[in-house]
């Protein structure tokens, strides 16, 4: 399979007429055409030893859409010292919370020919902790991952141990977060590869999160397919069924599993270049909008993240264009 | 001529599978394909009544690559009160300066099948002013427009009446300007449509400048051709000759004249959407990097501009991609 590529270099020199014609021919005549844009990306996610000024953070990280891990960004949060599982059990008691349950740890992921969402249960938080702490064994993998600002909606008792926003980020972006989410799950819980339209600050309080990241410019190498949506549902005998949702459109999702990519089926994925990083307790990952991410965690990892709506600006237009082109070349 | 277009809307909704396939087919199968991205552009260049904080200016204008006219940005410059032609004559005297001379006012523009640069003369500034003030009549149109930081290199006597940089812009961008240029010319002098890799702050001290602007996303509708470079040269009988430069590559330039576009030859230009603005004395235009601009002026208009090197970031990659695609579709 021939691949045409357009590489962008920092030089603004035009090159001669012949080079330009050749480049244009390359872009069009070699089929299937895959247009790649190589951004100036780091080999690994860089660290900042502390937060920056809003101007510097906007200019060096947000505007160029580049990830980083920020240390010493929330040393003052009581959560860092207080949030153990026993403490959370004490504060939350048997209050009912939303918990995602799947047979295999894959909530919101492609399974065979469906996009399958987890069974959502409302159970006492103490019961959920019994499962995480393996005091009780039940079929399936359990994860508090509802998002939708669940820290504020379901765990307001914990809000005083963290902050309702990240002040320097709110100043940087000129807005408050759309959502503040609480995450706690088993090591078997995996978040499949996807992207969000949020600027994301992801704070690990206890344990560690493993992120596999693809820049948005990897879009030509990341397959999307359409799937009928379904939900896991545990039957009386304890086995999980996949139950189709009624009368809904197919949804697009990424079928490739970065941990075990099927390169026979999705050969283009071999050209994608993932970045790996581990976010440890006390560290904050700036995960820029539109970056693809796949997430794993240590058992019982506790985290809080802040979602700020992205600006639908140049980078959004750019990635929409890349997206259209990626789909268009599949038809050639 | 059929035109395929991909419009970007603010919604992040995917649309159904059929819509996506249709959009992809549209992008590829209708030939010639012109991919357009409609950014959220204003109908006219907005005004700011004063400079903003560096964070706000970066976030709202630089990062989204949007132009604006800023008032009250240099009220404190002595130049605003002092710079009349008699004052400049008094300060500069008969010091030799670089002046561009053309038969028609078009320096650095396509003329027939050449890219023609002006004759560059070094004449006493007082002699140049005699021409501008019409005390003396000579063939051609005269313009001090050398750029290359000519305010510092050739007019250092004037530096004390302005500033060596724009402090809030230097803080916004985290750098000093690459060049500070002085401009003074006749009303017949026209700067043809082109773009620069600079963030440009263009300050009018006296008179007015007329800018015609195209956003970088108009690139699919703006033709580029390659031309042998040449220079005007006045012969002994006072007529201008076009003299080819020896042994140089062809250069790309935009052949269309926005004031009188040849739509038979360049029909795609009809789809480009120019913005017009007039920058008056005391006003500063923020002309973002990569924006196409065409400039006219009142007779004897005096201006100073600051060129800051652009960041070769996402927007640069985006426009390189648009550029390659625009050229590629010409071959289909």
Q: Is the pLDDT of residue B8 over 60?
A: no
Q: What is the pLDDT of residues B87-107, one digit of tens each?
A: 999 999 999 999 999 999 999
User: At A138, is the pLDDT very low, low, confident or very high (cuts 50, 70, 90)?
Assistant: very high
3-state secondary structure (DSSP) of residue B148: coil
User: Domains, chain A, ranges and CATH?
Assistant: 43-312 (2.60.120.10)
Residues of B in contact with A32 (CB under 8 A): none
What's the maximum distance between 2 C-alpha atoms anywhere in chain A?
73
Min Cα distance A24 → chain B (Å) is 4
Which of B328, B329, B330 would you mutate first to test chain A, the one with the most A CBs within 10 A?
B328
The answer to whether the CB of B299 falls within 8 A of the CB of B132 is yes
Q: What is the pLDDT of residues B29-55, one digit of tens each?
A: 332 233 434 444 568 999 999 999 999
Q: What is the pLDDT of residues B295-323, one digit of tens each?
A: 999 999 999 999 999 999 999 999 998 89
Q: Is the pLDDT of residue A288 over 90?
A: yes
Query: Any chain B CB within 8 A of the CB of A18?
Result: no
Question: Among A9-13, A229-233, B54-58, which is the least confidently predicted range?
Answer: A9-13
Residue with tokens 């970031």: B313
Model-level pTM?
Answer: 0.89
Interface predicted TM-score of the whole assembly (ipTM), two decimals: 0.87
Residues of A in contact with B59 (CB under 8 A): 58, 63, 172-174
- Mean pLDDT value across residues A264-287: 96
User: At A327, is the pLDDT very low, low, confident or very high (cuts 50, 70, 90)?
Assistant: confident
For residue A179, which of A159, A195, A158, A164 has the smallest C-alpha distance? A164
The answer to whether the CB of B160 falls within 8 A of the CB of B263 is no
Higher pLDDT among residues B17 and A167, named by residue: A167
Q: Is the pLDDT of residue B139 over 90?
A: yes
Integer Cα distance of A56 and A64 in angstroms:
12
Check residue B268 and give its pLDDT.
Answer: 94
User: At B4, is the pLDDT very low, low, confident or very high (cuts 50, 70, 90)?
Assistant: very low
Alpha-carbon distances, residue B252 vs B177, B195, B318 (angstroms): 26, 12, 20
Query: Any chain A CB within 8 A of the CB of B241?
Result: no
Min Cα distance A62 → chain B (Å) is 9
**A 171-190 residues inside an 8 A Cβ radius of B:** 171-174
Query: Any chain B CB within 8 A of the CB of A75?
Result: no
Check residue B25 and give its pLDDT.
Answer: 43
Nearest CA in chain B to A318: B318
Query: Any chain B CB within 8 A of the CB of A42?
Result: no
For residue B297, which of B205, B201, B169, B227 has the smallest C-alpha distance? B205
- Mean pLDDT value across residues B134-157: 96
Q: Is the pLDDT of residue A332 over 60?
A: no
Query: Any chain A CB within 8 A of the CB of B10?
Result: yes
* Contact assignment for B327 to A35 by CB distance below 8 Å: no
Higher pLDDT among residues A146 and A3, named by residue: A146
User: At B324, is the pLDDT very low, low, confident or very high (cuts 50, 70, 90)?
Assistant: confident
Integer Cα distance of A293 and A276 in angstroms:
10
Q: Is the pLDDT of residue B325 over 90?
A: no
Stretch (H or E) spanning B92: helix B85-92
Tell me the pLDDT of chain A averaged across its residues. Answer: 89
* Contact assignment for A25 to B331 by CB distance below 8 Å: yes
**A 276-295 residues inside an 8 A Cβ radius of B:** none
* Contact assignment for A327 to B24 by CB distance below 8 Å: yes
Q: Which of B20, B40, B320 sits opposite A8 (nearest CB)?
A: B320
* Contact assignment for B318 to A321 by CB distance below 8 Å: yes
* Contact assignment for B63 to A174 by CB distance below 8 Å: no
Q: Is the pLDDT of residue A60 over 50?
A: yes
Query: Any chain B CB within 8 A of the CB of A35?
Result: yes
3-state secondary structure (DSSP) of residue B10: coil
Check residue B197 and give its pLDDT.
Answer: 97
Min Cα distance A64 → chain B (Å) is 6
* Contact assignment for B328 to A40 by CB distance below 8 Å: no
3-state secondary structure (DSSP) of residue B164: coil
Check residue A5 and give its pLDDT.
Answer: 30
Check residue B13 and give its pLDDT.
Answer: 34
Which of B55, B168, B226 would you mutate first to test chain A, the one with the most A CBs within 10 A?
B55
Q: Provide the sign of the torsion angle of the four alpha carbons A148, A153, A154, A157, taken in this order.
A: positive
**B 246-275 residues inside an 8 A Cβ radius of A:** 249-252
């Amino acid at each position: 399979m021939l691949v045409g590529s357009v590489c962008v270099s920092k030089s603004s020199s035009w090159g001669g007429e012949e080079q330009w014609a050749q480049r244009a021919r390359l872009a069009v005549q070699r089929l299937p055409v895959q247009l790649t844009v190589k951004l100036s990306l780091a080999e690994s996610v860089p660290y900042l030893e502390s937060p920056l000024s809003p101007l510097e953070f906007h200019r060096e990280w947000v505007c160029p859409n580049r990830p980083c891990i920020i240390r010493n960004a929330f040393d003052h949060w009581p959560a860092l010292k207080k949030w153990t599982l026993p403490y959370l059990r004490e504060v939350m008691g048997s209050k009912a919370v939303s918990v995602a349950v799947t047979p295999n740890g894959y909530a919101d992921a492609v399974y065979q020919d469906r996009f399958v969402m987890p069974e959502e249960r409302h159970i006492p938080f103490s019961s959920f902790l019994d499962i995480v702490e393996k005091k009780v064994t039940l079929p399936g993998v359990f994860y508090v991952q509802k998002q939708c600002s669940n820290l504020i909606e379901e765990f307001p008792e914990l809000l005083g141990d963290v902050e309702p926003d990240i002040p320097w980020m709110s100043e940087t972006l000129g807005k408050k977060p759309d959502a503040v989410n609480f995450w706690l799950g088993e090591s078997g819980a995996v978040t499949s590869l996807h992207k969000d339209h949020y600027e994301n600050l992801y704070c690990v309080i206890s344990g560690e999160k493993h992120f596999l990241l693809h820049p948005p410019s990897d879009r030509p190498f990341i397959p999307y397919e359409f799937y009928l949506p379904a939900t896991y549902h545990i039957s009386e005998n304890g086995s999980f069924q996949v139950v189709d949702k009624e009368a809904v459109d197919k949804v697009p999702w990424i079928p490739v599993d970065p941990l075990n990519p099927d390169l026979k089926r999705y050969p283009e994925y071999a050209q994608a270049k993932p970045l790996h990083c581990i976010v440890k307790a006390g560290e904050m990952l700036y995960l820029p909008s539109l970056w693809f991410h796949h997430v794993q965690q240590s058992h019982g990892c506790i985290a809080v993240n802040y979602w700020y709506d992205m600006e639908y600006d140049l980078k959004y237009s750019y990635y929409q264009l890349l997206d259209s082109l990626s789909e268009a070349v599949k038809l050639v």
